[in-house]
Structure 1
């Protein structure tokens, strides 16, 4: 089973557990999500799905994404200044660098940052339960 098939199966299982029928439009949306490695917003998911099935509506995309989020299958990110974007839930923890000019989202993981956050929380008398780090930047121009 490829990782794409695994994500699709997980999405379908989450919706079935919620008592939601897997309609043809929803199956198309799940296929789009299964093959997605970026962080698309609902309109981008709609655009990709409608290219495969013109009968899909934007409201179906929104309802499907809401169901998937409610059941922990996807994570919604509200990066500053833009629409909510989505990614697979359950992936290893990572942080995001958002290119303010292109909107590209770069995932990264830094043991240094993780250790520093733990150290700061400990010094303040806390244990970190969850965190999300978003860096906003612009690519350096070559001189």
Structure 2
């Protein structure tokens, strides 16, 4: 398995629930010490993240959405499960300037972000020319690009 092999997600359909089967998330069998179990809150939170149209959500947003859906999950549990998902590579945490952390599913596809400074709306984009130019700049300085994170802070034109 390659270094990212343990970040793959497999879904097992069991009745109406999808269980996350992944390194570090176990259902039924005893897990190594400190490893999260696949519990009802884990499944509920995953299903909500997987089905929502809102791609970038704070822990508070997730909690409110679960409460509105009638789920009995506490805010502390939401934080704990999101942290476990992040550690397992299932979600990515973003700490955009001036705001709190937001989470998005780690779908494996690279993209950059624009953050509306007036509304905190997060807009995803991918531009091949920007990606190409970044690699060129890095190479011009004698480096190899390992990773990057581009965030543009924007405001609607008046």
Indicate the larger mover: 20-29 or 112-121: 20-29
Name the structure 2 match of 1:65: 82
Which of 32, 37, 45 aligns to 2:62? It is 45
Q: Distance in 2 between matches of 1:55 and 1:118?
A: 47
Deviations 1:50-107 (A, max 9, x none): 2224521001000100001001111000011111001111331100000011111110
Deviations 1:7-52 (A, max 9, x none): 7938722322864332222222111111133200000001111222
- With the length of structure 1 as denominator, give the TM-score of the two structures: 0.85
Name the structure 2 match of 1:4: none
Native 8 Å contact 1:8 1:34 kept in 2: no
Native 8 Å contact 1:8 1:31 kept in 2: no
Q: Secondary structure at the match of 2:42?
A: helix
Q: List alignment gaps of at least 5 residues for structure 2.
A: 1-8, 13-18
Name the structure 2 match of 1:34: 50
Which of 21, 40, 44 aligns to 1:13? It is 21
Q: Report 1 or 2 for greater relative contact order, CA contacts < 8 Å, sequence distance ≥ 6.
A: 1
- With the length of structure 2 as denominator, give the TM-score of the two structures: 0.78
Q: List alignment gaps of at least 5 residues for structure 1.
A: 1-6
Q: Secondary structure at the match of 1:9?
A: strand
Indicate the structure with greater strand content: 2
Q: Distance in 2 between matches of 1:8 and 1:102?
A: 35
Q: Secondary structure at the match of 1:76?
A: strand
Indicate the structure with greater helix content: 1
